[in-house]
Amino acid sequence: MLRRRRYHPPKPVQAWKGPKPQLPMLVSFCCRVHFRALEAYLAKVYKMRDYDVRLATGARGGMVPEFTVTGELPPAANMVQQTDNIRRGRRTRDLGLILNVLCVDGFIPIGTYTIDTTEDLTPINTYAELLNHTHNPLDPACISLKEKHKHDQDFMKRAKALELLVLEAKRQAKESAL
């Protein structure tokens, strides 16, 4: 014989009476940094010119590596030499160590750092995406962006080439439809 259970609605939650218990937790500082800003900061502080954060972390564009900065250097026999090399501007692929040295030297606070590796869109890339979306160089958004960057000769030259490509593609599509 088949028994079916009846549906019982959930019991309402009772309001908490008295003081609420505290959850033991550690509140920490969290910071998101764009990789280009970090590269510029390392060039300014430790004279690490042409440091590539994405190469050092192995991250591709769009990935967000995360580092916990404790303000303490790991106990290793060669740690003093490595930190001195960082302070002299020698590059290392250990970005976590670089961030900890920055913290020990008093440049950044203790906390969790996420590195944003997305590439900034240049004006010409923005214009190319806009043209790809509208397929019309006379669209008001396209005209507005061109007006905004009209003093940038390189942008204007590239925009003209993109417009010619779009118009040629439209012409070929029209001919093939006939």
Digit-by-digit pLDDT tens for the chain (178 residues) are 566 778 888 888 888 888 878 888 777 678 999 998 999 999 999 999 889 999 999 988 788 999 999 989 888 878 889 999 999 999 888 999 999 999 999 999 999 999 999 887 788 888 888 888 888 888 898 899 999 999 999 999 999 999 998 888 888 888 887 7
148, part of any domain: yes
What are the distances in angstroms from CA 11 to CA 6, 15, 16? 15, 12, 15
- Regarding whether 98 and 69 lie in a shared domain, the answer is yes
103, part of any domain: yes
- Regarding whether 93 and 159 lie in a shared domain, the answer is no
Structural domain containing residue 165: 123-169
**Tally of helices (H runs) and strands (E runs) in the chain:** 7, 3
- Regarding whether 106 and 51 lie in a shared domain, the answer is yes
Q: Distance of alpha carbon 74 from its chain centroid, rounded?
A: 27
User: d(Cα 103, Cα 72) in Å, to the nearest integer?
Assistant: 8
Predicted local distance difference test score (pLDDT) of residue 115: 92
15, part of any domain: no
- Regarding whether 101 and 135 lie in a shared domain, the answer is no
- Regarding whether 112 and 38 lie in a shared domain, the answer is yes
Predicted local distance difference test score (pLDDT) of residue 2: 65
107, part of any domain: yes
- Regarding whether 75 and 37 lie in a shared domain, the answer is yes
The number of distinct structural domains making up the chain is 2
What are the distances in angstroms from CA 178 to CA 35, 167, 173, 174? 50, 17, 9, 7
Considering only CA atoms, which of 30, 17, 37 is closest in space to residue 68?
A: 30
Structure tokens at 69: 């900065």
- pTM value is 0.58
- Regarding whether 148 and 95 lie in a shared domain, the answer is no
